[in-house]
């Protein structure tokens, strides 16, 4: 079982449950060397390598193989998995995988950062109704 670093919609435990079928132990984490950007016209973000940036997210521990299969279908071809090292609150680190935008889709990104609190207030309901990834899980 591997750990997942979530930095976007999957930070919402209810969405993670809908997608993975599991409630998983989790905690805040920081990923250095990546930047988070909004995807143009969408309610979700993507991350890209950026040596000067930091992304705050959540680590889900011990994600099962069946959950990873569901997550891969949900994320689709726009993302590829990368191994990363995430910093935890106690200054320790943890290995995880995360979904990074595939280079072929970089032109889909805004230059603006994506805001989780704004997503919860203004985008979550619409995302859950309309995101095509839900039809693949």
What ranges do the domains of the chain cover? 2-121
Place 82 in a pLDDT band, splitting at 50, 70 and 90. very high
Give the span between the Cα atoms of 110 and 115, in whole angstroms.
13
pLDDT digits (tens, 9 = 90+) for 9-57: 999 999 999 999 999 999 999 999 999 999 999 999 999 999 999 999 9
Give the span between the Cα atoms of 45 and 28, in whole angstroms.
18
Residue 137 confidence (pLDDT): 66
Percent of the chain with pLDDT over 70: 99
Q: Which residue has the higher pLDDT, 72 or 136?
A: 72
Spatial CA neighbour of 3 closest among 24, 23, 17, 18: 24
Place 130 in a pLDDT band, splitting at 50, 70 and 90. confident
Burial of 96 (0-12, 13-18, 19+ CB in 10 A): buried
How many CA atoms are closer than 13 Å to the CA of 21, on its beta-carbon side? 10
Q: Which residue has the higher pLDDT, 74 or 134?
A: 74
pLDDT digits (tens, 9 = 90+) for 83-103: 999 999 999 999 999 999 999
Residue 19 CB partners (closer than 8 Å, separation 6+): 10, 70, 71, 74, 133, 134, 137
The chain-wide mean pLDDT, for the chain, equals 94
Global pTM value: 0.94
* DSSP H helical ranges for the chain: 13-20, 65-75, 116-122, 124-130
pLDDT exceeds cutoff 90 at 133:
no
Q: Where are the beta strands (DSSP E) in 24-114?
A: 26-38, 45-63, 79-88, 93-101
Report the CATH number of the 2-121 domain: 3.10.490.10
How many other CB atoms sit within 10 Å of the CB of residue 119? 21
């Amino acid at each position: 079982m591997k750990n997942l670093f979530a930095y976007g919609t999957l930070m919402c435990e209810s969405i993670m449950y809908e997608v993975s079928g599991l409630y998983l132990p989790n905690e805040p984490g920081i990923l250095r060397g990546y930047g988070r950007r909004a995807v143009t016209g969408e309610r979700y973000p993507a991350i890209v390598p950026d040596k000067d940036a930091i992304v705050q997210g959540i680590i889900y521990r011990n994600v099962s193989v069946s959950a990873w299969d569901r997550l891969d279908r949900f994320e689709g071809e726009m993302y590829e998995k990368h191994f990363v090292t995430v910093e935890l609150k106690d200054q320790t680190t943890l290995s995880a995988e995360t979904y990074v935008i595939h280079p072929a889709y970089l032109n889909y990104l805004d230059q603006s950062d994506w805001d989780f609190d704004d997503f919860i207030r203004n985008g979550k309901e619409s995302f859950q109704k309309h995101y095509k990834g839900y039809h693949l899980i």
